[in-house]
A = this chain, B = another copy of it.
Amino acid sequence: MREKEMANILDQVLLRITPDDAERRAMEIIANVLTERINGFAGEYGVHGMLVGSAARDTWVSGEHDIDLFILFPESTERERLEAVGLLIAGSVLDDAERIEERYAEHPYLHGVVNGYGVDVVPCFNIREGSRIKSAVDRTPHHNTFVREQIVGCEGDVRLTKQFLKRAGIYGSELKIHGFSGYLAELLIIYFKSFTNLVRDAVDWRPGKVIDIREHGTRGHENSLVVVDPTDHRRNVAAALSLDNMCRFIDSARSFLEDPKIEFFFKVHQPPPESIETRELLHKRGSMLIGIRFQKPDVVDDILYPQLEKTERSTKKLFNIHDFRIANISSIVSEKNVYIICELFDKELPVVKQHIGPPVWARADAERFKAKYQKKETLSHTHIKDGRYVVDLKRRHTTPTSLLQEELPRYGLGKDVKATIKKQKFQIISEEELLTTSDHKVQNFIHQLLTHKNL
């Protein structure tokens, strides 16, 4: 019964996410044309083109229009020459693209939009499998070859997996997401053979779980999930996956098996929360909101997001040290601004704080401590508690606003965030401003921060 119900649901999902013949043919035509353009440089530079990624493996989800093309240079090519000639060829390939951007992985590549398809053209060294790679992207052609061989017949299950991960908000290995990459989804299906096998296994995963398709053995990877790269056993394909996102996958797998529903793959349309709802919710909770806003530094996401995480960590640490207790903290990037938004349990702290000193028997420290606070204005005499000196002092910051304003800029915030704050300052956003923001993205974000509703 449950089996049939599940199969039925997966069929419905597949109907919606499998590209039809027309969509597939359109993709093929463009991919072929572009690959041929690379091969046109074979004589001159010894290169050849390779279509990689989900388009090459028929594992893309209908509606995704991404084409990844690699320019394979002979291994002996010098790095500088690869970079220069690579850009030259890529430019020629994307000759008729609508927009072209130069982007950077380990070396520069081009991104362009051709007929509505996002196309990456990436130069790499053509390294024999198992040899040491010369740049991070050199593994990709081997991934491509491996998956193309192994995945035949399971493409639909890869699509189901990707869609399931997307819905759970954990698809993508970029530093903004810390989730599952497309290649990781493919390897999981190669190993488990089907989406249902995968989720049935995942319900019992725990941190330290190892999946080793070619039985390479692991070399002390210390991530939550270890999926040994079949083309390079030194690499953990799941290295970017965070503990919490692994847990979210385990949790979603259990929920899906318990009660299989199409909602595990597609959002149900919900009206966005009204600002008044958030206000009432906050009132009910009795906590307070406070935000920091600063201009979005002009850097790519993979540079920006780690810095935002660092800024969040510093904000947490600052509140902790100063005795403010945090309920929730998270950040959101709008078109021009970054917001760090905190929900705090403590709106205000009393002036008095207890300052714990050295143990009484640590004589030199003890004497320094006593001498220091004999001269200062304190709120109590120095006294002894659990073998240590204690003195009550006046707290400098009794509100989170004063604390953030004065102390946050001194903390580690990441290079570009720090520079932005130094140049442009940052604003403390009051609860009232946050609740009345006209930016719907920020509004929804605050609602989500408080409710943890799976949107």
CB-based contact B392/A350 at 8 Å: no
Contacts of A25 in B (CB 8 A): none
- Please encode chain A, from 338 to 359, with 1 for each CB lying within 8 Å of some chain B CB and 0 for all others: 0000000110011110100001
CB-based contact B384/A247 at 8 Å: yes
CB-based contact B327/A352 at 8 Å: yes
CB-based contact A385/B351 at 8 Å: no
- Please encode chain A, from 185 to 205, with 1 for each CB lying within 8 Å of some chain B CB and 0 for all others: 000000000000000000111
Tell me the bound Cα distance from A251 to B366 in angstroms.
Answer: 9
Our pick among B350, B360, B385 for the contact of A251 (Cβ within 8 Å) is B360
- Please encode chain A, from 268 to 303, with 1 for each CB lying within 8 Å of some chain B CB and 0 for all others: 000000000000010011111000000000000000
CB-based contact A206/B367 at 8 Å: no
Our pick among B247, B349, B363 for the contact of A203 (Cβ within 8 Å) is B363
CB-based contact A286/B352 at 8 Å: yes
Query: Which residues of chain A from 312 to 357 have a CB within 8 Å of any chain B CB?
Result: 323, 325, 327, 345-346, 349-352, 354
- Nearest chain B CB to A96 CB, angstrom units: 46
Our pick among B247, B286, B345, B451 for the contact of A381 (Cβ within 8 Å) is B451
- Nearest chain B CB to A346 CB, angstrom units: 8
CB-based contact A286/B361 at 8 Å: no
- Nearest chain B CB to A387 CB, angstrom units: 5
Contacts of A349 in B (CB 8 A): 286, 345
Is there a chain B Cβ closer than 8 Å to A380's Cβ?
yes
Our pick among B361, B367, B392 for the contact of A207 (Cβ within 8 Å) is B361
Is there a chain B Cβ closer than 8 Å to A398's Cβ?
yes
CB-based contact A243/B386 at 8 Å: yes
Contacts of A254 in B (CB 8 A): 363, 366-367
- Nearest chain B CB to A452 CB, angstrom units: 4
CB-based contact B392/A327 at 8 Å: yes
CB-based contact B204/A363 at 8 Å: yes
Tell me the bound Cα distance from A340 to B398 in angstroms.
Answer: 28
Tell me the bound Cα distance from A354 to B328 in angstroms.
Answer: 10
Contacts of A203 in B (CB 8 A): 363
CB-based contact B351/A285 at 8 Å: yes
Tell me the bound Cα distance from A368 to B20 in angstroms.
Answer: 43
CB-based contact B386/A244 at 8 Å: yes
CB-based contact A361/B247 at 8 Å: yes
- Nearest chain B CB to A294 CB, angstrom units: 26
Is there a chain B Cβ closer than 8 Å to A100's Cβ?
no
Is there a chain B Cβ closer than 8 Å to A454's Cβ?
yes
Is there a chain B Cβ closer than 8 Å to A219's Cβ?
no
Is there a chain B Cβ closer than 8 Å to A132's Cβ?
no
Is there a chain B Cβ closer than 8 Å to A372's Cβ?
no
CB-based contact B345/A384 at 8 Å: no
CB-based contact A205/B361 at 8 Å: yes
Is there a chain B Cβ closer than 8 Å to A453's Cβ?
yes
CB-based contact A383/B452 at 8 Å: yes
Tell me the bound Cα distance from A162 to B154 in angstroms.
Answer: 88
Contacts of A345 in B (CB 8 A): 323, 349-350, 352
A interface with B by C-beta (< 8 Å): 203-207, 243-244, 247-248, 250-251, 254, 281, 284-288, 323, 325, 327, 345-346, 349-352, 354, 359-361, 363, 366-367, 379-387, 392, 398, 450-454
**6 further contact pairs, Cβ within 8 A, besides A206-B361, A247-B359, A286-B398:** A204-B363, A243-B386, A254-B366, A285-B392, A327-B352, A381-B451
Q: Would you give 18 A-B contacts (Cβ < 8 Å), ordered by A?
A: A205-B361, A244-B385, A247-B359, A248-B384, A254-B366, A285-B379, A285-B392, A287-B350, A287-B352, A327-B352, A327-B354, A345-B349, A345-B352, A380-B450, A380-B452, A381-B453, A383-B452, A392-B452
